[in-house]
Amino acid sequence: MLMETAQRLHIPVIDEEYEGPLVLDEHSRVLTNSEACLQRLNEWAPQHPFTRISQMVKQKATFRAMLSDLFPDYYFQLVSLQELRSMPKEILPFPLVIKPNKGYSSVGVKLVQDRSEWDRSVAELYGELTLSKGVYSESVVDQDEIIIEKWIDGEEYAVDCYFDHEGKPVILNILKRMFASSTDTSDRMYYTSTSIVAEVFHEVEEFLHKLSGMLKVSHYPFHLELRRSEAGMMAIELNPLRFAGAGTTDISTHAYGINGAEAYMLNQRPDWSEILTRTDDRVYGFCCIELPVDIVKQDLHSFDHEALKERFTDILEYRNVESSDDQMLSVVFFRTSSMEEVHDLLHIELNPYITEKKVGVPS
């Protein structure tokens, strides 16, 4: 949908093969579909506010330090991977989260409830980072610096938004994230509805105003992850110059008729007061179908997409993901009137749909 929008609005598109100059001024608008673009932006326009702010918020420890005035008691620590592996667990304030200082798609994100889980979690993080080296560049997933931070207990939300020409926040979508268990960190399930947006809209907007006052930037798009705790809305991380990854931001079009890319490029502000009066109380969501971690894409012979589709009552769009090295198989946009279906989809066991290559038999 992003490419279709760019073509329809006659917006220049720069791909990874582009070698020419890039001229940005204070009124420029830039939207990417991958954080791998940040490295090129740094080469083209190292002094531009977009570059400076993106580099700052992409590094989770720097972002945490910036937010310390809002959350002065929040614990976090930046260490090297080697330091993490030799760190005495007795000094740590569990429960906590360990993850790459720069990351993407929950790679290497581990919730550690207590000391008994520490060694296993560190080993799993190390293994995931090792496997990710062939998939993500250092500019996307940091292979060495690790952030240790306090676990924020509460419901998690994801927000696509941008700061307009005056630096005021414009909310394009609010999604709720659902986890399969207390230790689940996957991106399997996000969903939205008018009731979900209405419940937290003003809290999210209030936080975004505070964030705008800190960043002092205009025409800036981003994807923000938040947790709603007893202390209020607390930011988990901010993904710069993009909306929800793998095209999942398009759920706002299915649910509310909001094209995020178009709204950003044309400086449009959705009329949420009108949207929230609609009588549609159905849930709109997307389900990210990924291979289990013990199966690599190169060992996959086939996946039965047609059989999987039977698990959904109302598919709005089914997107196959054709990639040789990413674990993602498909993104399914769906609609339902039943939260029970959402729970069932979250817990789908994928192995029955997977056929692996036979050892010694060429594909």
296-332 per-position pLDDT tens digit:
888 888 999 999 999 999 999 999 988 766 788 999 9
Instruction: Specify the pLDDT at position 171.
Output: 99
The DSSP H or E segment spanning 177 is: strand 169-178
Bridge-based pairing of strands 354-356 and 300-303 is antiparallel
Give the model's pLDDT for residue 5.
93
**Cα separation, 311 vs 279, whole angstroms:** 26
What is the side-by-side strand order in the sheet with 220-229? 232-240, 220-229, 155-163, 169-178, 189-192, 283-290, 328-336, 315-320
pLDDT of residue 43: 86
Mean pLDDT, to the nearest integer, of 263-279? Answer: 96
CA distance 239 to 54: 8
**Rg of the Cα atoms in the chain:** 20
Flag whether pLDDT at 363 surpasses 60: no
The pLDDT, as a whole number, for residue 135 is 63
The helix-helix angle for 49-58 and 37-44 (nearest 10°) equals: 140
Average pLDDT rounded to a whole number, residues 60-85:
91
Please tell me the predicted confidence (pLDDT) of residue 216: 95
Least confident of 97-111, 141-155, 305-319: 97-111
Domain borders along the chain are 2-150, 282-363
Fold classification of 2-150 is: Dna Ligase; domain 1 (3.30.1490)
Among 154, 148, 151, which Cα is nearest to 232's? Answer: 154
Average pLDDT over residues 102-130: 85
The whole-number pLDDT of residue 315 equals 98
Q: Which of 198-207, 279-288, 295-304 has the lowest mean pLDDT?
A: 295-304
pLDDT at 64: 92
Q: What is the mean pLDDT of the chain?
A: 90
**Interval 229-254: pLDDT, tens:** 888 899 999 999 999 988 899 999 99
Q: Which option is the CATH number for 282-363: 2.30.30, 3.90.105, 3.40.50, 3.30.70?
A: 3.30.70
Q: 128 — alpha (psi -120 to 50), left (phi > 0) or beta?
A: alpha
pLDDT at 116 over 80: yes
Tokens of 124: 């799993």
Q: Is the pLDDT of residue 340 over 90?
A: yes
Residue 318: phi and psi, rounded to 5, are -120, 115
* pLDDT above 60: residue 172: yes
Mean pLDDT to the nearest integer, 208-233: 95
* pLDDT classification of 362: cutoffs 50, 70, 90: low
The token duo for 217 is 């930037």
Contact 272, 201 (CB under 8 A): yes
pLDDT of residue 138: 61
Residues 6+ apart with CB under 8 A from 331: 246, 247, 248, 286, 287, 288, 289, 319, 321
Kindly report the pTM of this predicted structure. 0.90
Residue 206 scores a pLDDT above 90: yes
How many of the other CB atoms lie within 10 Å of CB of 111?
18
